[in-house]
Amino acid sequence: MQIAANAVVSIHYRLTNTAGEQLDSSEGQEPLAYLHGAGNIIPGLENALAGKIVGDKLSVTVEPEEAYGPVKEELVQDVDRANFEGIDVIEPGMQFMAQTPWGQQPVTVVSVEEDVVTLDGNHPLAGQTLSFDVEVVEVRAATEEELSHGHVHGPGGHHH
């Protein structure tokens, strides 16, 4: 079966940045399972997998526009330290959930001054060109429940 819309696809992958540093991998774990065409993975990788079959191996380079987007400077903001009442230690790299007009959004602490904390609401991989080494290990038709929920159920997918 070829990878197409509404197929459940399981892949093993290795993700690196342009410097060749490994950012993520499924090595030693269950393969990543996703519902093709449902936006479960970044568009650049999903597009490259279309038409592939079990056993196919590919290397894919994905530009930021087809991955996590460019860095949006407006998502980097200085916030008054008083907004972190009850939190004694705040350090760069820490993550918090912030309430935004679009709902809850994860933010990362960039820097901490005496009265100001700089937060970044961009995805940690925004602005980066990503390289994937991928092996297709399973392709099957999605169940009606998976299609109605928009994601995979069971091993390697979402568990309710």
In this model, does residue 69 exceed pLDDT 70?
A: yes
Contact criterion met (CB below 8 Å) for 70 and 64: yes
Mean residue pLDDT of the chain comes to: 94
User: Domains of the chain (ranges plus CATH)?
Assistant: 7-68+126-149 (3.10.50.40), 73-120 (2.40.10.330)
pLDDT digits (tens, 9 = 90+) for 74-106: 999 999 999 999 999 999 999 999 887 778 999
Give the model's confidence band at 157: pLDDT under 50 very low, under 70 low, under 90 confident, else very high. Answer: low
CA dist 144 and 150 (Å) reads 10
> pLDDT, tens digit, for every residue of 31-60?
999 999 999 999 999 999 999 999 999 999
Amino acid at 108: T
pLDDT of residue 101: 79
